[in-house]
Amino acid sequence: MRVSREKAQENRKQIIEAAARLLREHGFDGIGVADIMKAAGLTHGGFYRNFASKDDLAVKASEHAIADRMALLKNGLAQQQPQDPLRAVVESYLSSAHRDDPGSGCILPALAADAARRDDPALRAVFITTIQYYLDQIAKLSSASPRAGSRHPAAILSEMVGAVILSRVIANDPLAESLVAAVVADIAGPSPRRASDEE
Q: How many domains does the chain divide into?
A: 1
Q: Report the pLDDT value the prediction gives residue 196, as an integer from 0 to 100.
A: 43
Between 166 and 8, the higher pLDDT residue: 166
Asked whether residue 139 is domain-assigned, the answer is: yes
Condensed to tens digits (0 to 9), the pLDDT of residues 102-153 reads: 999 999 999 999 999 999 999 999 999 999 999 998 998 887 776 666 789 9
Asked whether residue 70 is domain-assigned, the answer is: yes
Asked whether residue 20 is domain-assigned, the answer is: no
Structural domain harbouring 107: 59-198
Domain holding 178: CATH number? 1.10.357.10
pTM value is 0.86
> 88, exposed or middle or buried, with CB in 10 Å at 0-12, 13-18, 19+?
buried
Asked whether residue 9 is domain-assigned, the answer is: no
User: What is the rounded distance in angstroms from the CA atom of residue 41 to the CA atom of residue 198?
Assistant: 53
Condensed to tens digits (0 to 9), the pLDDT of residues 145-179 reads: 766 667 899 999 999 999 999 999 997 788 999 99
Q: Report the pLDDT value the prediction gives residue 199, as an integer from 0 to 100.
A: 44
Asked whether residue 39 is domain-assigned, the answer is: no
Asked whether residue 24 is domain-assigned, the answer is: no
Asked whether residue 1 is domain-assigned, the answer is: no
Asked whether residue 14 is domain-assigned, the answer is: no
